[in-house]
Amino acid sequence: MSRVKRFFRTYKPFTRAGMQELIAYRANFICFLIGEIMSAFIMYFVWKAVFLSTDSETFMGFTMEDMVVYLFITFLTGYLTYSDGAFSVGEEIVDGSIAMRMIKPCSFEMCFLFQELGNRIISVAMIFVPIVAGVEIYRYAVSGMFRLQIGFFLLYIVSLLIAYMISFYFNVCYGFMAFFFKNLWGTTLIKETVVGFLSGAVIPLAFLPSGLAAVLNFLPFASLSYTPVMIYMGMYSYGEIAWRIGLQLFWLLVMYGVSKLVWRSAVKHLAVQGG
């Protein structure tokens, strides 16, 4: 027990720093948020027009109500699982300040993780509650009944947490890779676009040709966004959810292992570079 306590005491300052950072740059944060959520609103209008243009109540199995939930919960999931600690890793390797982290008596990735957690705690308060409330109020207004099922909601949170950890380790790997490519802007744009597509954040995987959809459903990217969102929407049965979350845990393990390997080789590279 005391070990756990000590662990949290070591990393608490990082969490606190992450929270303060977010408050200090609150204007940036709010503007960034508004900018990002704008695209969800644009898609909302596009979908509204789509449903106006068709006689059917559903579009490839989705009702307008489903579409709205999908758009905003995808946005929320994408935002909460977004991890840019990796970006700092790359930057710190380039300017050499990673050395300062390596001489501290704590794990480098835990420093980043806890710093991000501090960031996330405030994000959760500022966007999680309003978006979930907004979506549920919308659903209530449209259908006249309360649609959120507590079971699915709790499983969504579990799935979201795993998705965040996968995203974290995936981006740690990417941060090192970007350092080897020495190009951050271009590769990041490609990465985000490709991951956005493969994870079902741009187009619901259900809309894709069934063969492609089946493959993408199995790849780790679906675990980042599509799986938690579908759980929230109640699209999966409890049995299916169990197997989906199992798959998520499998990918989390894989990503963790890969990130360890990449870190080890990066440290070696650093040792070669330094003189």
Partner 1 sequence: MMRYIRLHRIFIAQYLKKLMEYKTDFLLGAIGLLLTQILQIAFLGIVFSQIPALIGWSFAEVLFIYGFSLIAKFLDHLFTDNLWMVGYRIIRKGEFDKYLTRPINTLYHVIAENFCVDAFGEALTCILLLLYSIPQLNMPFHWYTIPLLLVVIVFATLIYSSLKIITAAISFWTKASGHITHMLYMTNDFSKYPVSIYNKAVQTVITYVIPFAFTAYYPASYFLTGKDPLFCIGGTVIAGTVLFALALFVWNRGLKAYESAGS
Partner 2 sequence: MDNMIYVENLRKEFKKIIKEPGIKGSVKALFKPKKEIVKAVDGISFEVPRGEILGFIGPNGAGKSTVIKMLTGILMPTSGTCLINGKNPQADRKNYVREIGVVFGQRTQLWWDLALRETYAVLKEIYQVPDEQYKKRMDFLNEVLELDSFITSPVRTLSLGQRMRADIAASLLHSPKVLFLDEPTIGLDVVVKENIRNAIKKINEEEGTTVILTTHDLADIELLCERIVMIDKGKKVFDGGLTELKHNFGDIRTLEFELAGAPDFQLLDFDRHFKAAENDIRAELDGNMVRVRFDTAKVSVEEIISYTLQTVHVKDLNIKDVEIEEIIKQLYRREVSL
Interaction between residue 59 and partner 1 (CB under 8 A): yes
Of residues 50 and 154, the one with the C-beta less far from partner 1: 50
Q: Does position 143 bind partner 2 by CB under 8 A?
A: no
Q: d(Cα 174, Cα 84) in Å, to the nearest integer?
A: 10
| Complex with partner 2: residue 19 or 206, whichever CB lies closer | 19
Angle at 117 between CA 113 and CA 2, to 5 degrees: 75
Given partner 2, partner 1, none, residue 26, with its beta carbon under 5 to 8 Å by kind, binds partner 2
CB of 62 to partner 1, least distance (A): 11
The site for partner 2, by CB under 8 A, has a size of: 6
In the chain, what are the helix, strand and coil shares in percent, each to the nearest 5? 85, 0, 15
Contact characters 11-30, partner 2, x per CB under 8 A: -----x--xx--xx-x----
Closest to 33 measured CA to CA, from 127, 115, 167 = 127
Question: Does 189 sit near partner 1 (CB under 8 A)?
Answer: yes
Distance CA 83, CA 128 (A): 16
How many Å apart are CA 98 and CA 109, to the nearest integer?
A: 11
222 or 247: whose CB is closer to partner 1?
Answer: 222
Does position 36 interact with partner 1 (CB under 8 A)? The reply is: yes
Burial class (CB within 10 angstroms; exposed 0-12, middle 13-18, buried 19+) of 270: middle
- Residue among 18 and 204 whose Cβ is closer to partner 1: 204
Q: How far apart are CA 237 and CA 224, in angstroms?
A: 19
Question: Hey, what amino acid is at 121?
Answer: I
| Residue numbers at the binding site for partner 1 (CB under 8 A) | 27-29, 31-32, 34-36, 38-39, 42, 45-46, 48-50, 52-54, 59-60, 181, 183, 185-190, 193-194, 196-197, 202-203, 207-208
| Residue numbers at the binding site for partner 2 (CB under 8 A) | 16, 19-20, 23-24, 26
